[in-house]
Structure 1
């Protein structure tokens, strides 16, 4: 016997036992957490990539004022770890130091050579020692030690975010399983009667799975839509760390300009778009497995 699948019929009474409020609300909250977690993982990955590709490979070498630079530049360029060695612009250095030293510094500024490394060194201290040996009298400012620690922190945050995402998915699965079991308990007699009349396990489980997938998908969509402006606001605050401009704070009359100025394009739209269908798939699979296991116990 096949259950009729017309839109107007609900032989199992699933619209009453599977609430269209509680389950979507719970899933929406978990989808919001999942969206925040995804954005956190993406942000940590972007920060790690920026540090590793930028500040992580930058060193500076300071020489006394008036020192010759042709031999130090040649010696530094000959090192295999160094991709580029160039003199820092004195005007730019003066502009950077102007807030502390004023327009006319009383002390002569040293000669600064900027180095760009080919890759992040495994031991920044050892590399600094080799640079100091190649250029006697030079002072090496190696940022690699601190950047390596920041990279480790960013990678750890990324791993924690992914673990939290798996935890949210596990909790969502448990919530759906509990909701399905509650629906089974409420419609136990109807399910047993339809099963005894010849309804297949696949048809009964499919009814439950379709209803659950719809509710879970709608809840995840609502949570994702709520998360989008929150993530855009966070992205605006974090933009300076990623090389962008921070979103300005607008007065009440300029609220539209504030929201329009947020970095919407920096959001992980692909991952966010996958949240509702992924949640619906989790709900469908959980309902199928839960109900089929219960149906196997029927005579």
Structure 2
């Protein structure tokens, strides 16, 4: 009997029975998992866009026909002396065959064009004059800039980032709706107890605070579980995306750890605020 009175004093509204500690946390965990994936997708797309724009956009390829292979040193000297060219290096035949192997299989022992890689000092430099000057000195030399492809890839990355942020906003909206529905269900199941406490002098702040604390804790716990589930999923995705980032970043270090750590407190705050608003609005309708 004494134990029951103690539980009643701590939970006079019976919220532990009214607000399930399984259904709401489970739904919030699913929302948190989706939010983690959306955040990781947005940050990953932004990182790839920056890498492409800062790296590949400044890279230029020069191709010399096989009959001009002997003039590679002349071409390199000319290119390195040009203003706006930060570096110029020759691509050896072994690397060329390695690059072509995924497309052509084992490349036969045929004469391959000589390829040089340039890196411009900044993205605003127009490579066309460089190509014309090189073609005059070394007939048949062709210059290819990657700016158009980088622009298309950057646009794709921005689209992916926008979709990820839209998904995140949708997840937040759904989470607010789920918490609001759970709060209203709890209010309906404990209506009589709430009315009695209200008639005895309990303030709206006290009643709303009890609901908000309970739902905030449940939402934070569910988000913690969702964030934990997101870690191996994001780790696997980071491993798959490693080649796109140059393969120099360890997958686990690339995870958005700060975002994952912030998910539980943010979910708890959303649950607390939504419950406060819902309960106070419901209490205003009481006679």
- Normalising TM by the smaller chain, what interval? 0.7 to 0.9
Q: TM-score, normalised by structure 1?
A: 0.80
The 1:96/1:17 distance shift into structure 2, 3 A limit, reads closer
TM-score scaled by structure 2?
0.84
> Is 1:214 aligned to residue 208 of structure 2?
no
Tell me the C-alpha RMSD between the 2 structures.
Answer: 2.8
User: What is the rounded CA distance, in whole Å, between the counterparts of 1:7 and 1:161 in structure 2?
Assistant: 45
> Which residue of structure 2 lines up, in the alignment, with residue 83 of structure 1?
86
Could you tell me which residue of structure 1 aligns to residue 28 of structure 2?
A: 27
Q: Which has the higher helix share?
A: 2
For 1:27 and 1:157, the matched residues in 2 are separated by 24
Q: Indicate which of 221, 226, 231 corresponds to 2:229.
A: 226
- Unmatched 5+ stretches in structure 2: 1-5
Which of 161, 180, 183 is the equivalent residue of 1:180?
183
Structure-1 residue corresponding to 2:276:
288
Instruction: Indicate which of 238, 257, 281 corresponds to 1:269.
Output: 257
Tell me the residue number matched to 1:67.
71
Tell me how far apart the structure 1 counterparts of residues 221 and 256 of structure 2 sit (CA, whole Å).
Answer: 20
Q: Does the 8 Å CA contact 1:76/1:131 hold for their aligned counterparts?
A: no
8 A Cα contact 1:58 1:116, kept in partner: yes
Assess, with a 3 A threshold, how the Cα gap between structure 1 residues 223 and 106 changes in structure 2: closer, same or farther.
Answer: closer
Correspondence for 2:130? 131
Structure 1 SS opposite 2:144: strand
Q: Report the CA distance shift for 1:87/1:41 in structure 2 as closer, same or farther (over 3 A).
A: same
Q: Matches of 1:71 and 1:59 in 2, distance apart?
A: 14
User: In 1, Cα distance between the equivalents of 2:35 and 2:172?
Assistant: 8
The number of residue pairs the alignment matches comes to 272
For residue 224 of structure 1, give the secondary structure of its aligned residue in structure 2.
Answer: helix
1:202 to 201, 205, 209: 205
